[in-house]
Amino acid sequence: MRRNPNHALVKFLAASLFVSGAVSGAFLSSCGQSPSSVQSTPAANSSTVSPSPAANTENRLRVVATFLPIYLFSKAVAGDAAQVDILLKPGTEVHDYQSTPADVKALSETDVVVKNGLGMEGFLDSTLQSAQSPKLKVIDASKGIKPVGELSQVVQTGKEEHSHNHAEGNPHVWLDPVLAKEQVENIRDGLIAADPDNKAKYEANAAVYLQQLAELNKEFEQRLGQFRDRTFITFHDAFPYLAQRYNLKQVAVVEIPEDQLSPTDVKETIDAVKQFQAKALFSESGVDNKLLDGLSKDLNVKLRSLDSLEAGETDPKHYFTAMRANLQTLEEAFK
């Protein structure tokens, strides 16, 4: 997808998150960055990578997970009982992703697709239709999870359009450890239905991961409990489930234009920071923060980072590493 040369700078600002002191504010980034396609491990560029040659040598169940968080959960449950590949490489912009012929081919050759659901993968239905694989099973990891709509107060800045509005509710459920447990359970049950011979393995693997998620939830409860009612101010509404779970509040500053940053956008952004007494500026992990560095200095706020887990390592343990880093960052920002 070709974008305006100023897009990267704007994404950094639109990706920011401010957290206030007594009424803490936070600006969070948008979900992901560049397109890609099916692979077993992250690739350095966006070219298509076929599944591992060993994928079918043992006639294991072939599974494709749509993007990183769902891959982490699927791989944790499958272990070595199934071959699990990832459709979009970590860091890919999922919301406006356009599928490729390679994606269609990959889905036509797999047994199971695991998706986040809740409208996150807008490209998927048409891709599955093009794959024309009637035996292909689809696991909706968010099945049974009640989505939030406009849970947060919304402050609009810039243009009136928003490029990826979620008609089915906010899809970022994986950032709540309790809802992540439900997603893992859905994936476990779906894999068992597709491959009952390996039921014991899927159950055992899931049980270990579910226990780790329960422990993570306890850590969040204990360490964020003293910061009840603190308010997040976000540009991209990625953390409402986490905020709701731990009695925080999120205010979403949305509709920052992607093509260029106008003086009005800058003014309204600064006004929002002042209104909510922001004490810290958050950017997404792994981005060039030169623009945000300058903005944070101008506003006399500290630049920090929060991770939406749409980029990063493909080891299932990465979920816990990234979420504990987020916990520490929030804890420090709220003090």
CA distance 300 to 163: 30
Q: Is residue 249 part of a domain?
A: yes
* Mean pLDDT calculated for residue range 189-194: 98
Whether pLDDT at 16 is above 80: no
Whether pLDDT at 47 is above 70: no
For residue 7, name the pLDDT band (cuts at 50, 70, 90).
very low
Q: Is residue 104 part of a domain?
A: yes
Q: Is residue 126 part of a domain?
A: yes
Q: Report the candidate in 266, 252, 260, 235 with the shortest Cα–Cα distance to residue 8.
A: 260
Q: Which two tokens stand for residue 150?
A: 């406009």
For residue 294, name the pLDDT band (cuts at 50, 70, 90).
confident
Q: Is residue 1 part of a domain?
A: no
The CATH number of residue 110's host domain is: 3.40.50.1980
> pLDDT of 171-183, one tens digit each?
999 999 999 999 9
3-state secondary structure of 303: strand
3-state secondary structure of 79: coil
pLDDT at 112: 98
* Mean pLDDT calculated for residue range 227-249: 82
- 330 torsion bin: left (phi>0), alpha (psi -120 to 50), beta (else): alpha
For 219, the domain range is 7-334
Q: Which two tokens stand for residue 47?
A: 């070219």
Q: Is residue 90 part of a domain?
A: yes
For residue 33, name the pLDDT band (cuts at 50, 70, 90).
very low
Locate tokens 């979009």: which residue?
A: 88
Question: How many C-beta neighbours within 10 Å does residue 74 have?
Answer: 29
- 59 torsion bin: left (phi>0), alpha (psi -120 to 50), beta (else): left
* Mean pLDDT calculated for residue range 191-195: 98
pLDDT at 298: 83
Q: Is residue 130 part of a domain?
A: yes
CA distance 169 to 151: 9
Q: Which residue has the higher pLDDT, 159 or 145?
A: 145
Q: What share of the chain is helix, strand, coil (3-state, %, to 5)?
A: 40, 15, 45
Paired sense of beta strands 17-20 and 231-234, if any: antiparallel
Main-chain dihedrals φ then ψ at residue 325, nearest 5 degrees: -65, -40
**How many domains, in total, are found in the chain?**
1
> pLDDT of 102-137, one tens digit each?
999 999 999 999 999 999 999 999 999 999 999 999
Q: Which two tokens stand for residue 216?
A: 């993570």
Structural contact between residues 118 and 147, judged by C-beta atoms closer than 8 angstroms: yes
Rounded to whole angstroms, what are the CA distances from 31 to 61, 188, 308?
A: 30, 26, 7
Question: How many C-beta neighbours within 10 Å does residue 254 have?
Answer: 17
Q: Is residue 151 part of a domain?
A: yes
In whole angstroms, how large is the CA radius of gyration of the chain?
20
CA distance 316 to 155: 36
pLDDT at 165: 54
What's the whole-model pTM score?
Answer: 0.82
Q: Which residue has the higher pLDDT, 213 or 329?
A: 213
* Mean pLDDT calculated for residue range 269-275: 76
- What are the residues whose beta carbons fall under 8 Å from the beta carbon of 298, sequence distance 6 or more? none
> pLDDT of 132-156, one tens digit each?
999 999 999 999 999 987 545 555 5
Q: Which letter does DSSP use for residue 282 in this model?
A: E
